[in-house]
Structure 1
Amino acid sequence: MDKYDAIVVGSGPNGLAAAITLQQQGLQVLLLEAKDTVGGGMRTAELTLPGFHHDVCSAVHPMGAASPFLRSLSLHEFGLEYIHPEVLAAHPFGDGTAAALYQSLDLTASELGADGKAYRALFEPLVKSWSRIDTHILGPMLKIPSNPIALARFGLKSLQSGKQIAARFHTKEARGLWSGMVAHSMIPLEDLTSSAIGFVLTIAGHQGGWPIPKGGSQRIADALAGYFRSLGGTLQNHTHVRTLVDLPDAKAVLFDVSPRHLLRICGDSLSSFYRWQLKRHRYGMGVFKVDWALSEPVPFKSAVARKAGVVHLGGTFDEVAAGERQVWQGKYPDKPFVLFAQQSIFDDSRAPAGKHTGWAYCHVPNGSTKDMREAITDQVERFAPGFRDTILATHTFNTAEMEVYNPNYIGGDINGGVVNIAQLFNRPVLRFSPYRTSARGIYICSASTPPGGGVHGMSGYYAAKQALKDIFND
């Protein structure tokens, strides 16, 4: 049997990042994946009709552009090409107007009219200081910062609720645009720390855009896997790890799995107190996802929305906030906040000539099996009259189906657990190193560890760095 220094279980962005980081140090690394393709949330498939290529989960990648780890790799040499829409995200309103996020902070501020000055005052200092604090924000929180003043400036703002930050704005455009960013947090917009993800996504947009991988998100996974193999790493698909005894001997094992699955796999190898902590990890809202094969581009009333990679469909700040609050309470809003992407507008490899794809999801209570396709379709139709007439075929995922697709999505939670004030510093447990478990040589590197969900690889990178320090004396 081959000898390995380290084993990584799960080939999502964090598992791949962990495997690469270890292999870069000259170790012999085995990466195990249960499915026939690598990727986790980075997969692309023909979900509706032949020739229509849909991103199964992640679609647009601001965190990929912002990730210090991913930026350090020459993934273009392994076939990864990013497309940068001019309009990163649009937020249309019922009257046909829309607010928009551009990579240019100046352009974004200038188009927000009366709130342009407030927008600039809020974001310009954060954008300028981002390169000095990005590795801290996108990593474990309990560590000594190298730039405490810049970090404090970000922290004092991001600890506030989205609603508190929205009070700085007066126009429906600025408030609406901000609501769409904050709603990615998957917690009520009135809750403390709900603004954190909104800040990160907006700053990331002004720094590196919200790029779309040409050919689909699977291309990111394939490029990372190619890079790993080029270093001499070993990748093995179709391998289900149910217990530790399924694994060959190694000095370190890193798990890109949820806390729930870590408990199942490692069992009594973990201390009773650590197991108790993992069991307390709280999962958040789920998602209901819809993919469409379309006969033509989505006929948004807003010209800006027709040019955007992402369109946030929810109306005013108050509408978005009310809908997200209802979902948090276990209810279903009639007009849910919908995150919509239209990759085929920019990438003609996604659909047959002249045809297009649509990608969307809304938040639902964790574990919900309610069919939200009509509510989502109605919300798109609200801002794009005639949308229904363009639909050729539809594919849906409820939360249970999302969890079958990726077992890390407990109850459909794509963030790996609630990112609220209660779990900001203890994700998945309160430890100086969130990646190190109670058992020597066993680590967790999934989105349930800092910095949380998104295609950035930073959880895997930091977990691997911890293993190198603990086990391999790096």
Structure 2
Amino acid sequence: MAEHDVIVVGGGHNGLTTAAYLAKAGLDVLVLEAKEYAGGGAVTQEVTVPGFHHDLHAIAHIFIQASPLVRDDELGLLSRHGLRYVYPDPCISVVFPDGDSICFYRDVRKTAESIARISPRDADNYLRFFEFADPVLDMLLGGFFAPPPPLGAMFAQLDQSELGQEVLRVLLMSHLEVAQEWFEHDKVKAAMARWVSEILAAPEEGGTGAFLMIMVPLIHRYGLGFAVGGSGALTAATARALASYGGAIRTSAPVERILFEGERAIGVRLASGEVLRARKAVAANLNIAQIPELVEHRFGADWQRKVDRLKPAGFVLLVGHLALAEAPIFRAGPEATSAGLQEVCLPLPELRQAFDGLKYGRPASMMPSIGVASVWDPSRAPEGKHTLYLLSFVPPELASGGWQEVFEESFTAFCALTTNMSWSKVLHHVVHSPDDSERFNAAWPKGDPGHFGSQIFQFLGYRPLPNMGYRLPAESLYLVGPSTHPGSGITGGGRAAAQCILSDLGLGSGE
């Protein structure tokens, strides 16, 4: 029987990151991945035409830029293992159907100048909001890439100061309510709400206000990164780092059961019947909803009920991958065109109605998100050609129609915002619906890569369950990945999970 110190089940971005930190600390680590390749949502493939490299799911790397994983290059991904980033500026442009736009630059004052074209008063309000949120970012990010404190203790600490009380109040609000308090013009409020909705939370969803408070200073400090070559470059660099520390990855190795001796997890059984032993720990980079079956429901009905009551995200994603004959030119002008991402935004009343429609099976196809990473990273497409990532917010199930119809509506909305786009510029396209995404990754229910919603009652120290952290209710068994803090997206969140495991093993924090 093969033995390792730690077995990590699931070779997505978080599983690989966790494994690399554990291996760096001197542990013998094996990652098991069910698919024929590792990476989870951080994968890049030629799914349209040869030579066009498309990020299948994650495209923009924002939160990870603030992590010591990248900021301090703790695993040598940048210095030794080939990872490179390009940083578009402006990072994001929010584009309105009438041609107005707001561009978010690394420079906060340039961003304010962009806002001033719509509302001079809100340009000043934006600077004021940044001054409020910037020191708060340090407060919140301190626990973003490490195991979070218990939520009650965090709230009690915040309640000790006037600034902390303001932060606590924002944490409990919706991000639209926060925008409405700080800004005056409906387009500015709508732009802020549209931007934050990328976390898959509708603007009026309670307990999401913290994300506006985080994302504004975050984008100005660290920017938006495109991994050169695609998101798969992050996976490849992390895999190389893991190997350099003596760790290994096995693909096409689905795990059927986690094995126990008494209350201790001691290994796994693969679908093939092969048994692998873990001397020190098993870490599952899975959706917490997958755990009961893997452990044969040994944690009991009460624990199962807590898992079952987790609230899903308000909506999910449909993604179109297109090979283009040329790059789009937006009617909003060269400034909006040059941004790393374009987010289409409706005026505030229509924006709220569009998000409300998602509750009733109606897609928000008129406000897609657009990424043409090949403008900034020419390695992704043949010379003069481009890749298009066209993302739409959709309900898990449509009230009527089909996914291709939704994609075509989104593509039509996108073309109307440009001077040069039409079907004649599309060399080939592939559509990935929520159903396709669920088939792609069994941990993504209804295609949600975040596993479930990010409201405050299931975030920070309450993600996935109140004050559970990364420890499942068995000795030496851990949960890592989007089901745990800091949640969905390219965050480098496996760093925090590794700190928890290393602390339990008496090996420090692995920093």
Using the size of structure 2 for normalisation, the TM-score is 0.87
Root-mean-square deviation (CA), in Å? 2.2
After TM superposition, give the deviation of residue 141 of structure 1 in Å.
Answer: 5.1
Looking at structure 2, the residues matched to 152 and 78 of structure 1 have their Cα atoms a distance apart, in angstroms, of 43
Match for residue 265 of structure 2?
Answer: none
Is the 2:48–2:430 Cα contact (8 Å) retained in structure 1? yes
One-letter amino acid of the structure 2 residue matched with residue 209 of structure 1: G
Match for residue 170 of structure 2?
Answer: 157
SS of structure 2 residue aligned to 1:443: strand
Name which of 79, 87, 90 aligns with 2:90: 87
Deviations 1:83-141 (A, max 9, x none): 01111000112232210111111211232111111111112232244234313245535
In structure 2, the CA distance between the partners of 1:318 and 1:183, relative to structure 1 (3 Å rule), is farther
Name which of 263, 279, 290 aligns with 1:261: 290
Match for residue 437 of structure 2?
Answer: 402
Match for residue 377 of structure 1?
Answer: 411
One-letter amino acid of the structure 2 residue matched with residue 254 of structure 1: A
Looking at structure 2, the residues matched to 198 and 391 of structure 1 have their Cα atoms a distance apart, in angstroms, of 35
Deviations 1:165-189 (A, max 9, x none): 2222223552233022221132221
Matched, 1:210 2:210: no
Match for residue 134 of structure 2?
Answer: 127
Is the 1:435–1:466 Cα contact (8 Å) retained in structure 2? yes
Deviations 1:185-228 (A, max 9, x none): 32221121233333333322111100111110000111111111
After TM superposition, give the deviation of residue 366 of structure 1 in Å.
Answer: 2.1
After TM superposition, give the deviation of residue 264 of structure 1 in Å.
Answer: 2.2
Matched, 1:277 2:319: no
In structure 2, the CA distance between the partners of 1:282 and 1:359, relative to structure 1 (3 Å rule), is same
Matched, 1:321 2:352: yes
Match for residue 331 of structure 2?
Answer: 301
SS of structure 2 residue aligned to 1:380: helix
One-letter amino acid of the structure 2 residue matched with residue 441 of structure 1: S
Match for residue 378 of structure 2?
Answer: 348
Looking at structure 2, the residues matched to 111 and 4 of structure 1 have their Cα atoms a distance apart, in angstroms, of 55
1:125-204 aligned within 5 A: 125-138=132-145, 139-140=147-148, 142=150, 144=153, 148=158, 152-167=165-180, 168-204=182-218
Looking at structure 2, the residues matched to 361 and 287 of structure 1 have their Cα atoms a distance apart, in angstroms, of 7
Matched, 1:426 2:459: no
Looking at structure 2, the residues matched to 444 and 60 of structure 1 have their Cα atoms a distance apart, in angstroms, of 25
1:234-245 aligned within 5 A: 234-244=248-258, 245=269
Which stretch has the larger CA shift, 211-220 or 116-125? 116-125
After TM superposition, give the deviation of residue 153 of structure 1 in Å.
Answer: 4.6
SS of structure 1 residue aligned to 2:128: helix
One-letter amino acid of the structure 2 residue matched with residue 188 of structure 1: A
After TM superposition, give the deviation of residue 336 of structure 1 in Å.
Answer: 3.7
Which stretch has the larger CA shift, 336-345 or 272-281? 272-281
Q: Which runs of 5+ in 2 are unaligned?
A: 259-268
Is the 1:103–1:206 Cα contact (8 Å) retained in structure 2? yes
Looking at structure 2, the residues matched to 439 and 25 of structure 1 have their Cα atoms a distance apart, in angstroms, of 23
One-letter amino acid of the structure 2 residue matched with residue 325 of structure 1: D
Match for residue 496 of structure 2?
Answer: 462
Matched, 1:99 2:127: no
Is the 1:312–1:339 Cα contact (8 Å) retained in structure 2? yes
In structure 2, the CA distance between the partners of 1:152 and 1:473, relative to structure 1 (3 Å rule), is farther
Deviations 1:252-299 (A, max 9, x none): 111111122222212233343222222222322221110111111112
Which stretch has the larger CA shift, 312-321 or 50-59? 312-321
Which stretch has the larger CA shift, 194-203 or 212-221? 194-203
After TM superposition, give the deviation of residue 385 of structure 1 in Å.
Answer: 4.1
Is the 1:31–1:234 Cα contact (8 Å) retained in structure 2? yes
Match for residue 286 of structure 1?
Answer: 316
Match for residue 310 of structure 1?
Answer: 341
SS of structure 2 residue aligned to 1:249: strand
SS of structure 1 residue aligned to 2:276: coil
Deviations 1:403-450 (A, max 9, x none): 1112221101122201124423532222x2321111111111120111
Matched, 1:48 2:48: yes
Which stretch has the larger CA shift, 322-331 or 13-22? 322-331
One-letter amino acid of the structure 1 residue matched with residue 63 of structure 2: M
After TM superposition, give the deviation of residue 66 of structure 1 in Å.
Answer: 1.9
Match for residue 478 of structure 2?
Answer: 443
> Once the two structures are aligned, what percentage of the paired residues are identical?
26
Is the 2:104–2:111 Cα contact (8 Å) retained in structure 1? yes
Looking at structure 2, the residues matched to 336 and 442 of structure 1 have their Cα atoms a distance apart, in angstroms, of 44
Deviations 1:315-358 (A, max 9, x none): 2233333212211343334x443121110111111111111111
How many pairs are equivalent? Answer: 471
Looking at structure 1, the residues matched to 344 and 276 of structure 2 have their Cα atoms a distance apart, in angstroms, of 48
Is the 1:435–1:449 Cα contact (8 Å) retained in structure 2? yes
Match for residue 35 of structure 1?
Answer: 35
In structure 2, the CA distance between the partners of 1:153 and 1:70, relative to structure 1 (3 Å rule), is farther
One-letter amino acid of the structure 1 residue matched with residue 408 of structure 2: E
Deviations 1:140-177 (A, max 9, x none): 35265598456655443243212212222223552233
One-letter amino acid of the structure 2 residue matched with residue 273 of structure 1: D
Is the 1:132–1:147 Cα contact (8 Å) retained in structure 2? no
Is the radius of gyration larger for structure 1 or structure 2?
Answer: 2
In structure 2, the CA distance between the partners of 1:104 and 1:291, relative to structure 1 (3 Å rule), is same
Q: Which runs of 5+ in 1 are unaligned?
A: none
Looking at structure 2, the residues matched to 121 and 219 of structure 1 have their Cα atoms a distance apart, in angstroms, of 38
Is the 1:82–1:212 Cα contact (8 Å) retained in structure 2? yes
